[in-house]
Structure 1
Amino acid sequence: MDYINISKGIGCFIAAFIYFHFFSKPFFDEKKEERLEKEGYSKSFIENFKLDDYVRDFRGKIVGYGFIIVGIVLIYLGLTKK
């Protein structure tokens, strides 16, 4: 057993948990959309702002799932190493 790989894998799980628990909140919500409409911004600007938020959320979810996959692989390698 390789305890260093196992600890790195657990660290990846902790990093994924922290990301999904604290940082995966959407930045753009209905209140922000209403506020931007009241300020006089065009619909295309608001739609571009929404699209940017969706892309940021998607990219962050891929990173979070990547941490989980890397954590599983590192733990597996740590357990199978002799």
Structure 2
Amino acid sequence: MKIGMSRVCLVTAMALLAVVLSPGSGFAQRKQPAEGTLQQRKDCADDARMVCGRFIPDVARITQCMTANKRQLSPQCRRHFR
């Protein structure tokens, strides 16, 4: 059962990243959820969970957290927050 819960957390984080990193979203400014690219989700999944996981499932707070903590993000994720 532990594996199932970890998978649920990962899927939740990935869904939130899809909204947060949607192209042209201005991050939290977009009102309609949209998916980020597969590359964006791949690049930032671990960062979202490790740096801002305490805010899951609040998309706006995850966005604020990742933007405020850009220096803590991995280089591959940070490039999506320029």
Give the structure-1-normalised TM-score. Answer: 0.30
Bigger RCO of structures 1 and 2 (CA < 8 A, at least 6 apart): 1
